[in-house]
Amino acid sequence: MTATGGGDAVEVLSALLGRGHTVAAAESLTGGLVVARLTEVPGASRTVRGSVTAYATEVKRDVLGVDGALLEARGAVDADVARQMARGVRDLLGADWGIATTGVAGPDEQDGQAVGTVFVAVAGPDGADHARQLSLDGDRAAIRAASVRAVLALLLRELTENAGAKDTEHNGGN
């Protein structure tokens, strides 16, 4: 795969393709930028299943299956919300991997969280899921762009760091 930009997307898609896996994205503050970044790469259709832009809290709950009590108690900007978004989009779109972004791009705080507070998450096969909290600086565009890079980096880490362990497990009995 080659791309006109964004080496991170190329690496992610190559790693997915190499494993025969697919990805789906659930995006809040990034509003579709993650899947746009992935689909800029020629051949992305072999690995990208689709996305849900879950900007409204109700969409997170009603479409992605995020627990309503969790949303009410903690708000939408939370690590567990991000994890549930990633799992929800993975299940909804039938992908091997789900990725999610939720946070505050500004200009005002949200749910008691400061501008620049972002959570990115990855949900993968075998129930694996991870979330990462970010504290980002900059204007709205910079925070959103950094969120895209962060969620793709988290997915790439999962794909590359866990690949050897899974291959060893799989081949260990031979």
Tens digit of pLDDT at every position of the chain (174 positions): 433 445 699 999 999 999 999 999 999 999 999 999 999 999 999 999 999 999 999 999 999 999 999 999 999 999 999 999 999 999 999 999 999 999 999 999 998 999 999 999 999 998 889 999 999 999 999 999 999 999 999 999 999 986 544 433 332 332
Q: What's the CA gap between 46 and 172, in Å, rounded?
A: 29
Virtual torsion, Cα 99, 155, 17, 93, nearest 10 deg: -10
Does 57 fall in a domain? yes
Residue 42 domain boundaries: 7-168
Q: Residue 43 has what pLDDT?
A: 96
Q: Are strands 117-123 and 129-135 parallel, antiparallel or unpaired?
A: antiparallel
Does 46 fall in a domain? yes
pTM of the model: 0.90
Q: Residue 162 has what pLDDT?
A: 66
Does 1 fall in a domain? no
List CB contacts of 83: < 8 A, sequence separation 6 or more: 100, 121, 123, 129, 130, 131
Exposed e or buried b per residue across 146-164, where buried means at least 16 C-beta atoms within 10 angstroms of its C-beta = bbbbbbbebbbebbeeeee
Domain total for the chain? 1
Q: Are 84 and 66 a contacting pair, CB within 8 Å?
A: yes
